[in-house]
Structure 1
């Protein structure tokens, strides 16, 4: 289980996360939902030890992250929000680097690589430099790297960005199977259709604050006669006063001097 206990993160006077509390259970696909800048990536980077929270604690499987960082890292496969890293390495060199870091036995590495590169159509590109790849191919490279050790916890930051429809479908199927096996899949997205399709549990963030923590079904039940889009935008969208509801484009052309 993953627990965020009153986690906050400050950058100067800006609070990227504000006293966030979450529990993510084994067997769940958990979605972090929110606009750009909502705090999704900050929460994820705190979980994978890229950044340190200003306040609060993170516990994973009953262990404090600060006190057990290395052991916990080996339980996690992480896809960052940008695949523009390790650009001078070939795809295979990057995957080999991951296998050494996670101490994957050679036979297991070969088997897992063959399965994953075949699935994501990357077998013929292993010897190519990551810098030469399109955004989608870079994304697939880092997804393969994250899944290669077959870790218990997958933490994926906007993982579908740039993927072609087949790769996106294949990744979603892998996410479902991983959760069904009793593992945790945590991913961020701002695409509501993807969240509705995949998630057992969601959290909605806005400007670092946790606005909702529960299932999509519970959220829609609380907001009868509204679509998921309407409900989400009511929570996380722009606040509009009655004066703001009429825009310049609601005004007749002749009154605008057109």
Structure 2
């Protein structure tokens, strides 16, 4: 299991994250939802030691020291991280970028070829990454982190820049990885993308956990409700304000 226990992360007098516990279990998919600024990316970055926080990260029961190069190497060995923003060497082609990752064996090379075919990147393998479309850059980033089988995959907004075909394919890839025993954490704004995927759901609002349930628990608590309805229910006060503002538009038009 990959676990983050975040006791406190303070940004200002008005916003902080406190008492967050997140468990990514093998063979399970954890879906993290929330508005812009809810704290999703900060939580994920904390898990990889990319931002300081009070708390700890454990991997397979071992507490990690995120200041230790040995422990960071252990984390990288078992966990792939696909951030929201591209972090590629733009002057390289996808082929050169993948070669830079130094795949260790023939099985991984075959895996690379499969993902290149799945995400239809073959025609762009020798073009500089800087000249690729946003979508093809995103596909390059995703493939680069899927090349080596890992115990856990962490995706922060993986659908940004993907067309409908690629979103469908990515969803199928995620389900395949989960079925093969990988633990997956996804943060996304696309409710329909996550609706059929998640085994566990966490919803944030302004740094607070509004919901933390398994799919079975959400099904029992919100019978026959789609993910969008569950999300709106957990943010009822916000959407009541939205409805009041929408009603004001009617008043403005009639006057």
Q: Same fold (TM over 0.5)?
A: yes
Q: Which runs of 5+ in 2 are unaligned?
A: none
Structure 2 equivalent of residue 125 of structure 1: 124
Deviates more, 1:221-230 or 1:56-65: 221-230
Structure 1 equivalent of residue 84 of structure 2: 81
Alpha-carbon distance in structure 2 between the residues aligned to 1:246 and 1:106: 58
Count of residue pairs brought into register by the alignment: 250
Structure 2 equivalent of residue 97 of structure 1: 100
CA contact (8 A) 1:29 1:200 kept: yes
Structure 2 equivalent of residue 218 of structure 1: 217
Q: Which runs of 5+ in 1 are unaligned?
A: none
Q: Provide, for residues 71-121 of structure 1, a one-character-per-residue CA deviation record: whole Å limited to 9, x for no partner.
A: 11111111110125422222122212233xxxx314344222211111111
Alpha-carbon distance in structure 1 between the residues aligned to 2:251 and 2:60: 57
C-alpha displacement at 1:16, in angstroms? Answer: 4.9
Scaled by the length of structure 2, the TM-score of the pair is 0.87
Alpha-carbon distance in structure 1 between the residues aligned to 2:243 and 2:218: 28
C-alpha displacement at 1:9, in angstroms? Answer: 2.2
Structure 2 equivalent of residue 60 of structure 1: 59
CA contact (8 A) 2:135 2:162 kept: yes
Deviates more, 1:130-139 or 1:62-71: 62-71
Structure 1 equivalent of residue 11 of structure 2: 11
C-alpha displacement at 1:187, in angstroms? Answer: 0.8
C-alpha displacement at 1:234, in angstroms? Answer: 2.8
Say if 2:243 is the partner of 1:248. no
RMSD in angstroms over aligned alpha carbons? 2.5
Scaled by the length of structure 1, the TM-score of the pair is 0.86
Structure 1 equivalent of residue 232 of structure 2: 233
Relative to structure 1, is the Cα distance of residues 110 and 225 closer, same or farther in structure 2, using a 3 angstrom cutoff?
Answer: closer
Within-5 A mapping of 1:19-168: 19-52=19-52, 54-66=53-65, 68-83=71-86, 85-99=88-102, 104-168=103-167
Alpha-carbon distance in structure 1 between the residues aligned to 2:178 and 2:225: 29
